[in-house]
Structures are given as C-alpha cells and as structure tokens.
Chain A
Amino acid sequence: EIVLTQSPGTLSLSPGERATLSCRASQSVSSSYLAWYQQKPGQAPRLLIYDASSRATGIPDRFRGSGSGTDFTLTISRLEPEDFAVYYCQQYGRSMYTFGQGTKLEIK
C-alpha cells in the first residue's frame, strides 16, 4: 500500500497570498497517477488536479499541480476567499487507491 503524507497539516495564509501544499508518497507513484481534491465542510471532495498536473474541467488556472515519483505539490498562486478548505491528494497507480490525511488551508 502506498502511504501518502501531506504537509503541513494546517496552513494559515491571507487572501492574495500563495499557498504551497506538499504530498509525499512512501514509494514511487507510477506514471504520476496522483490527484488533488478540495473539500469544504459538509460537501463531497471536488476534483482539482489529475495525473499530477492536469486541471479538471472548470478549475481556475491559479491551481497548479506538479511533481513526480514520490514528491508532489499543489500550488495556489493567489488565494481567493473560496479557496480556504481542506485539500487531499490521492494516488491511483496501483489497484488500491489511497488518500493523504489532508491539509487544512485556513484564513490567517
């Protein structure tokens, strides 16, 4: 099983700032099969990024995914008020899907 570790656990920033979220895998994620989701309270996760760097339909270009192997990053270039939420990474390179424990992005 590939274990995904996200850091930091909580990130406190202000609107307009840049956010950098990390996801590290316990072993290499094949073919960069990694996704990022955003979840707001009481809602289902929303797909942001797939295949490590491809934006899902309708996702603003301030969201950027990067990385390969065991180290992946989600960057939000200029935080909007609606971006404050919990973010999860997920790998799907093996027939056992796993998620990171999440990073909470909160307003400073």
Chain B
Amino acid sequence: QLQLQESGPGLVKPSETLSLTCTVSGGSISSSHYYWGWIRQPPGKGLEWIGSFYYSGSTYYNPSLENRVAVSVDTSKNQFSLKLSSVTAADTAVYFCARHDFLKWFDPWGQGTLVTVSS
C-alpha cells in the first residue's frame, strides 16, 4: 500500500525559505505516468494546490506561487521536496504531499505537516 509522509521544520522565520520532504513507501516515485504534488491548507481554510512534478523532471506550478516555488526529486531515496522562498505569515499552513496522474485527482495523500511562519 502506497504511503506518503511529510517531514521538515515546523517553524520558519519570515523572509526565509520553507523546505519540506515527502518520503514515499510501498511504491516507487519513478513509476511511469504518476505525478507527485504538494497541496497546502491554512488553518481553518480550504485547500490550495502548490505544484507537481514528474520523476523525469517535468514540473508545473500554481501561477500564484511559481516565482517562489521549486519542487525536486531524489529517486535514490524515493523522496521529493518542496522549497518555498520569501515566506510570510500567509504561508502558515498544513502542507500535504500526494500522488496523482497528470490532470487527475489526488490519491493517496500524506498526513500533512503544519508549518508556522513566525519570528
């Protein structure tokens, strides 16, 4: 059974870079036709897709975030990562990683990790 687990610092200072990792178990991140994505949810609010990538290197991002976002992959560790630069309090959220086919639904999801932006 495929499982995803987010990890990373729970507290980031304003203007710094948020870095998270998603570790995939029960399947290979290099599986053909699957994409891997990041979604976030501010406390008490709805869901926002951040960006996705394909293991071969193709990436695409939410236009509202693309100038601050980078997603990368480490196939040797079966992990992928998110970097979000110049964070502000508005970036405080639970960050989820998830698998999806291209232009398809997200399933499964990781349990999520809360990142708070505060000095």
Q: Specify the chain B residue showing the minimal Cβ separation from A90.
A: B105
The stretch among B25-33, B43-51, B81-89 that forms the contact with chain A is B43-51
Interface SS of A by simple majority: loop
One of B46, B47, B104 near A50 (C-beta < 8 A): B104
| Neighbouring A residues of B110 by C-beta, 8 Å | 44
Bound form: Cα–Cα A94–B52 in Å? 13
Binary contact track A90-108/B, C-beta < 8 Å → 1, others 0: 1011111111111000000
A-B pairs with beta carbons under 8 A, tally = 53
Size band of the B side of the interface? 20 to 34
Q: A50-B104, A90-B47 are in contact. Are A96 and B63 (CB under 8 A)?
A: yes
- Residue A56 interfacial (CB < 8 Å): yes
9 pairs of A and B residues whose beta carbons are closest in the complex: A44-B109, A35-B105, A97-B49, A47-B107, A99-B47, A50-B105, A101-B46, A92-B103, A102-B46
B interface with A by C-beta (< 8 Å): 37, 45-49, 60, 62-63, 96, 98, 100, 103-112
Q: What would be 8 A-B contacts, judged by CB atoms less than 8 Å apart?
A: A33-B103, A33-B104, A44-B111, A88-B47, A92-B104, A98-B49, A99-B46, A99-B48
